[in-house]
Amino acid sequence: MAYNYDDQNIFAKILRGEIPNNTVLETEHSLAFRDIAPQAPDHVLVIPKGAYVCFDHFALEASDAEIVDFTRAVGEVAKQLGVQPGESGAGYRLLSNAGDDGVQEVPHLHVHLVAGRPLGRMIQPAR
Ligand code: AMP
């Protein structure tokens, strides 16, 4: 399968510094920033710096270094927010939308880390 990456997507523009973001963490291969329309008190997006459309694209074509960096960045964000379960934090949810049925709006891989309130059931009925 060929993945067509649109380099005019809004996260590509954030990575190029063309539009601002509220950065939480930056690593060699990843960037984490606050969602502009938060669904909970803490809502952070973690993205790889590389041009990957969605999670399966990343899993297929990213280097081991990028995958390790991205995974550790997600964990570090949870740590920085103080939401790791079992510690003082109350937990969080990770979510990555892909494609049409996933209702992916921005075609650059991102994981949502949502926390700060009870989050309810994982999937709401479609409306
Ligand atoms: P998704 O449906 O998973 O593609 O969600 C894309 C997310 O990106 C949404 O939660 C938006 O609120 C968020 N978003 C869109 N533009 C920006 C931006 N400029 N800065 C931060 N978050 C954004």
Read off the pLDDT of residues 13-65 as tens digits, 9 standing for 90 and up: 999 999 999 999 999 999 999 999 999 999 999 999 999 999 999 999 999 99
* Both tokens assigned to 48: 């790889």
Which pLDDT does position 89 carry in this prediction?
73
pLDDT at 34: 98
Q: Whose CA is nearest to atom 18 of ligand 1?
A: 36
Reported as half-sphere exposure (CB side, CA atoms, 13 A), residue 68 has a value of: 4
Q: Which of 29, 43, 110, 112 is catalytic?
A: 110
Annotated active-site residue 108? The verdict is: no
106, pLDDT greater than 80: yes
- Going through the chain in order, the beta strands assigned E by DSSP cover 23-26, 30-34, 42-48, 92-95, 111-115
For strands 111-115 and 92-95, give the pairing: antiparallel
CA of 105 to the centre of ligand 1 (A): 7
Nearest to 53 by CA among 98, 100, 18, 102: 98
CATH architecture of 10-115: 2-Layer Sandwich (3.30)
Assess whether the C-beta atom of 40 lies below 6 angstroms from ligand 1.
no
User: How much is the mean pLDDT over the chain?
Assistant: 95
pLDDT of the residue at 124 = 74
pLDDT grade, residue 117 (50/70/90)? very high
**Atom 13 of ligand 1, nearest CA residue:** 35
The structure tokens listed for 124 are 């709401």
Does any ligand 1 atom lie closer than 6 A to the CB of residue 10?
yes
Report the distance separating Cα 78 and Cα 113, nearest Å: 8
Cα(75) to centroid(ligand 1), Å:
20
What band does 2 get if pLDDT is binned at 50, 70 and 90?
confident
Whether pLDDT at 4 is above 80: yes
Indicate which atom in ligand 1 lies nearest the CA of residue 95: 3
Q: What mean pLDDT comes out for the span 113-125? A: 89
